[in-house]
Structure 1
Amino acid sequence: MLAGCATSPEPRHTASTPYYTPTARSDERLEAQASAFESFMHKASGIDASFSGPGEVSQALQTGASHEPKQFEAGMIAYAAMAALQEPGFVAGVQRASRDRDLANRLTANPELATDLPGGDAAAARANAALFRQGEALADDGQKVKRAAYSVQHQAWSKARVPDPAGRLSRVKRLSTVSYQASAGDEARMRGAVAQGGRRGGATSPVVARGVALAALSVLGQSDRGRALMSEPRTAMCLRMAKLNLYQCLASAGPHYEDIFCLGQHAMIDPGQCVVEATKAPTHRMVATKASYRR
């Protein structure tokens, strides 16, 4: 398990505990971006580590590779915003503060100011918990797949070399550039996920601050101004490194069981840890992942 300080989840929302749901047309983009993030996390976390043949490994690898890092990062921040919008006190506080006509300008220029708004700390704690749950789940499931890279070796097929490894790598790289395509139920599942509640304390990270600021802009009806908030350098680098390490791992892999290792470590654990790290305030030391399979 990854270390964390998550508190007990709060009760799910009911009719007596309403939460803000964006309805303006300008917020459709926010929901779509959050749905893209949740959709990948849901599908990748659902990879079954009980591999019984090369076809299952190939399909799982396609699932794990199917995200574009920039879209993933933007979706992560949008997902944090959607979670922050579940905090009624924050939504009410932003609505009261909307009399300040310069508020949107200041939030765009300095997203950390969002936590100073009434209910801002509680909204940040919700966003933190929502992202941490997603990242921890993917990293944990990736550990299961990584362990399978060793346990599967008693099956003869796992030791056979991957046919057309160059073609396999090209397909993975192509999948990594394809934008998310919405599927039926994605938005509803995302809404259910962010409504789970729960708060996680600690200093507000840049990604969480951007999410809370984006939520505030949504309440103000100015979501379009949040485009500049959809990336954060430390997280962007982490996600790029995870993807590059996946490519490097696959380029050097031989038999199928090594593909399973690459999948678990670099398509699941690494991006999952990037999400977890995105919930933490930065330190002076940045940990970069590295392709590490040794044959």
Structure 2
Amino acid sequence: MGKSAALVAIVATMWGGVSAADPATTPEAAPATPLLEQTATPFVHMRSDFDFADNAALSNAKVTRTVHETISSHDPARISSGQMAYAALVAADTPAFAAAIERRANKPKKREQFLADLRNNPAMVRELEGSNEAIEAIRQVAARDAARIGQAGERYIADAYRLQETGWARAKLPANGTQRVNQAKAFAMKRDWPAIGNPPRIVSDAGNRQPNLNGAANWSTQWSAITPPRPIDLDTKRQIYLTKTLVLAVRYTLDDLNEGHVSAFGTDKESQRCYNYAQMNLAQCVSASRTAVEEAFCLGTHGLNDMSRCVGWIAGGGTPKG
């Protein structure tokens, strides 16, 4: 049995049922918030907060406070599942993969058979034409995003060293570290998340949907323009992660996605564990900090660098551990 067939066999033992998806030609008047976009929204919100952190100039202690509160306000489970949903949208937006789904489901009977095949063997998505291109797109986006977040983290660490002789940066902060961590938790509880809209979608004559992520700035696959290192080879955990995202992409395309599918295929323990540890390390570091300089170092090391490794995990991206 070859490597590809072996992988399909491994993944096929993990689930009992799922369906399909495809491309498009006509703009669609989308519902308020389609399920996959709704699930992906926490990840998109987090990228917006990283954007804020990346562009923030560390000019006073209030800046580090604001960056800490925004970055630490994200729930690890929601951003982990949000990233998987976003990856599924990236796959659904990959032309070769979308075209392959369209060919398999461009007639009602073909669609029924495709969905039946998917229910019986979800891992069959890896055998679709264009699946490798979709996987490459997912990993490239994750690697680029992680590289940008990590670059921001390195800047925060460099700024922390640079600001050590600056009066406001080395002055003791009014609230102690534990109080600041609790303030961040309170902010997260009451945070009013901004509306970000949905990316446009097009629909084919057969009713299959394809998102246009680059048609909406917040959703763009070009959020980061940094060229990352080559993604690492895929191990079994990453292979399974990617197979699950392709299943979500197919069901999304076929407009056959429900919450049960998202629960079954839209979670990953490794990813969530990474985000959990990053947030925990950030809270512990801030709780021990006394000055804005120390807080900036915590933000760079854990709020950005640790998080970059979580965002880039599927590609082995992010700032290497020092």
TM range (shorter): 0.7 to 0.9
Which one of 179, 195, 220 corresponds to residue 192 of structure 1? Answer: 220
Aligned-partner residue type, residue 115 of structure 2: R
Distance in 1 (alpha carbons) for counterparts of 2:192 and 2:138: 22
The 10-residue stretch of structure 1 (119-128 or 175-184) with the greater mean CA deviation from structure 2: 175-184
Mark the runs of 5 or more structure 1 residues left unpaired by the alignment.
Answer: 1-16, 282-287
Match of 1:57 in 2: 64
1:273-292 aligned within 5 A? 273-280=309-316
| Deviation digits for residues 117-144 of structure 1 (CA, Å, limit 9, x no counterpart) | 2211111111111222112211111111
Q: CA deviation at 1:176?
A: 4.9
Partner Cα separation in structure 2 for residue 143 and residue 251 of structure 1: 21
**1:33 lines up with 2:39 in the alignment:** yes
Q: Structure 2 vs 1, CA of residues 179 and 121 (structure 1 numbering), >3 Å: closer, same or farther? A: farther
**Whole-Å Cα distance in 2 between the matches of residues 20 and 242 of structure 1?**
42
Residue equivalent to 1:220: 254
One-letter identity of the residue aligned with 1:254: R
Q: Distance in 2 between matches of 1:104 and 1:23?
A: 27
How many pairs does the alignment contain? 265
Q: How far does residue 73 in structure 1 lie from its aligned partner after superposition?
A: 0.6
Deviations 1:158-208 (A, max 9, x none): 111222223211022344566882424675223433699999775364333
In structure 2, the residue matched to 1:271 is 307
Q: Could you tell me which residue of structure 2 aligns to residue 87 of structure 1? A: 94
Q: What is the aligned partner in structure 2 of residue 150 from structure 1?
A: 161
2:263 maps to amino acid: R
Answer with 36-45 or 75-84: which moved more: 36-45
Q: Secondary structure at the match of 1:100?
A: helix
> How many angstroms does 1:101 deviate by?
3.4
Report the CA distance shift for 1:196/1:56 in structure 2 as closer, same or farther (over 3 A): closer
One-letter amino acid of the counterpart of residue 132, structure 2:
D
Matched, 1:103 2:150: no
Higher mean C-alpha deviation, range 49-58 or range 266-275: 49-58
1:237 corresponds to 2:248: no
Q: Name the counterpart of 1:159.
A: 170
Q: Which residue of 2 aligns with 1:253?
A: 289
Whether contact under 8 Å (2:139, 2:315) holds in the other structure is yes
Give 1 or 2 for the bigger CA radius of gyration.
2
In structure 1, C-alpha distance between the alignment counterparts of 2:102 and 2:41, rounded to whole Å: 25
Q: 1:181 aligns with which of 188, 193, 218?
A: 193
Task: Give the match's secondary structure for 1:164.
Answer: coil
Residue type matched to 1:39 in 2? H
Cα shift at 1:151:
0.8
The 1:175/1:87 distance shift into structure 2, 3 A limit, reads same
Map 1:109-120 onto structure 2 (within 5 A): 110=122, 112-120=123-131
Greater mean alpha carbon deviation, residues 61-70 or residues 183-192: 183-192
- The aligned amino acid for 1:192 is S
CA distance 1:174–1:230, shift in 2 (3 Å) = farther
Deviation at 1:234, TM superposition (A): 1.1
Any gaps of 5 or more consecutive residues in structure 2?
1-22, 105-110, 200-215
- Verify: 1:43 aligned to 2:49, yes or no: yes
Cα pair 2:135 2:242 within 8 Å, conserved = yes
* TM-score with structure 1 setting the length: 0.77
CA-based RMSD: 3.4
Describe the shift of the 1:186–1:218 C-alpha distance in structure 2 as closer, same or farther (beyond 3 A).
closer
Give the C-alpha shift of residue 280 in structure 1: 4.5
